[in-house]
A = this chain, B = another copy of it.
Amino acid sequence: MSAATGLLIGEFIRTVDRRYRLAIPPELCELLLATGSRLVIAKERSGCLSLWPAAIWQPRIDGAIEIMGSKLQAGLFAQRVGQLQELGRLLSTRHKIVSLKARSRLVVPEGFREFLGVQPDTELVVVGAAVCVELWQPAAWNACISSEMPEFRRRIDALTA
């Protein structure tokens, strides 16, 4: 279905097990891994994580990192070191490279669990967002939906009821 368009589309409910493992639906999985097995998990707004093919995400940071490296070598220390430090700190916490394990399961890494606000043995909403896959805490997802797309509210309620 979505494979035809080349866009990640669809909404699924999955449970996170005691070990913070989560099965990514095959439809999404296929497209996610189309460009390679390396993925990037990133913190978006709190209550939501996003999963990107590394090929798509990486250029966003590689550019920054490359420039950071060259600035370092150029010796612009005094003024730039502080900025590099700040940026590096944010890069560290914002994303992480991961890969899917057996049965195309993702383990939500330490440090991302609290941000997502997920407890073991609870449900998550897995949403295709065209270029990436998003993992939502149900409450946050509902809030997002009802604020951005009120007309879909009824459908979701009908589905989950």
Residues of A within 8 A of B (CB): 1, 5-13, 43, 50, 56, 59-60, 63-65, 67-69, 71-72, 77-78, 81, 83-94, 96-97, 110-111, 127-132, 134, 144-145, 148-149, 152, 155-156, 158-160
Contact = CB atoms under 8 A, between A and B. Distances in A.
Contacts of A131: 72, 81, 84-85, 88
Given A13-B110, A94-B149, A149-B94, A88 B159 contact: no
A155 B8 contact: no
A93 B8 CA distance: 12
Given A60-B77, A84-B130, A89-B127, 17 more contacts: A7-B68, A7-B88, A10-B92, A11-B92, A13-B110, A59-B78, A60-B78, A63-B78, A67-B159, A72-B131, A86-B148, A87-B155, A87-B159, A89-B129, A90-B148, A92-B127, A92-B129
Oligomer copy total: 2
Contacts of A90: 145, 148-149, 152, 155
Nearest to A69: B6
Contact of A88 (B56, B71, B88, B129): B129
B64 A159 contact: yes
